[in-house]
Amino acid sequence: MSTPVITFLTDYGLDDAFVGICHAVIAGICPEARIIDLTHGIPRHDVRGGAVALRDAIPFAPAGVHLAVVDPDVGAARRAVAVRAGDGRLFVGPDNGLLWPAAAKFGGVVEAVDVSHSSLRLEPVSATFHGRDVFAPIAAHLAAGIALAETGDPCDPGSLVTLELPHARHTMGALEVAVLALDRFGNAQLGATHEDVAALKLGEPVGVELANGAVHQARYVWTFSDGASGELLLYEDASRSLALAVREGSAADRLQISPGDEIRLRLP
C-alpha cells in the first residue's frame, strides 16, 4: 500500500510550536503518514485567503487527506467537519467555508461528518487549539484508514457553510474585480481569469482604477521579464488567475491594496 499523504495548511505561522505540535500528534496516531505543509503563512483569520490558497494548491497534491485550519471562531458554535469530495479526496477543518472552494474543484462535497464531538479527539479538548485536539487527530485517523463515517456524526452536505469567491463583473469598458490575495512578493491575485479579458492583447495598456479613484497604468504581459524594472504589470499567474505585479517591486506597496479590495480594470 502506498504511503498515506496529509496536506496541511493553516494561519498558525511558524514562530510558535502550533504546527509542530500538530505534526507530533499526527505522527503519534499514524506514523506512516507523510505530511506536506502547503503553507502556514495564511494571514491570521483570513478564511477567504486560506480557501483560495487551498483551492490553488490541492490540484498539485496527491489525493489524500487535506487538513486546513483557519479558524477565527475556535471554541464557539461553528462545527468541525470532515468531508469527502466527489473525486474521493478528504478534507478536514472548521465548517466556515475554508474547505469549500477546494472541495468544489474536486466534485463538491458528497459526504460530510460533523466531528465536533468525535470520540477521536484528544482529551481534554482545549478551548483554543482545535488544530491539535480535533482536526489533526481526525486527519491522522483518516490517513490510517478509518472510514469517514466513523469519525463523527454524519450530516447533510447541504448544511455546510459555503464560500463563493467573487467573480469579475463587466461594466462599460471596465472589469470590476476583487483582490483575492497578496503573496510575499507583493503580487496581487485577482478574482478574474484570462477569459475575462479575452479581447486584451499582450502588450496592451490597462488602467487600474482603485477605490479612491486613482488610476495606475499597467501593461498586459506574459511574464515579469516582459516588463521594465518598476513597471506595473497585469498577467496570468501560476494559478491561472489574473494578477498584478511590479517588476522587481511590489504591486501591493505601489497600489496600497489589501485582500478584499475592489478595483476596476479599464480595458482599451
Contact positions toward its own copies, by CB under 8 A? 2-3, 5, 7, 9, 12-21, 23-25, 27-28, 31, 34, 36-41, 44-45, 53, 56-57, 60-62, 72-76, 122, 126-129, 132-133, 183-185, 222-226, 235-238, 240, 248
* DSSP code, position 108: -
3-state secondary structure 117-149: CCCCCCCCCCCCCHHHHHHHHHHHHHHCCCCHH
Please state the closest distance from residue 175 (CB atom) to its own copies, in A. 21
Number of C-beta neighbours around residue 127 at 10 A: 10
Nearer to its own copies, 72 or 88 (CB): 72
Nearest to 263 by CA among 199, 198, 203, 190: 190
Q: How far is the CB of 144 from its own copies (least distance, A)?
A: 14
Judged by DSSP in three states, 253 sits in: helix
Smallest separation, CB 70 to its own copies (Å) = 13
Find the shortest distance in angstroms from Cβ 172 to its own copies.
30
Q: Any idea what DSSP says for residue 172?
A: T
Task: Decide whether 15 or 156 has the Cβ nearer to its own copies.
Answer: 15
Give the nearer residue to its own copies in terms of CB position, either 131 or 264. Answer: 131
CB of 145 to its own copies, least distance (A): 17
CB neighbours of residue 89 within 10 Å: 21
Cell of 140: 491522522
Least distance CB 82 / its own copies (angstroms): 20
Q: Which three cell numbers stand for residue 228?
A: 521594465
* Closer by beta carbon to its own copies, 184 or else 201: 184
DSSP bridge partners of 209? 215, 264
Choice between 39 and 193, CB closer to its own copies: 39
For the chain, report the end-to-end CA distance as a whole number of angstroms.
Answer: 56
Instruction: Report the residue number, 60 or 107, with the smaller CB distance to its own copies.
Output: 60
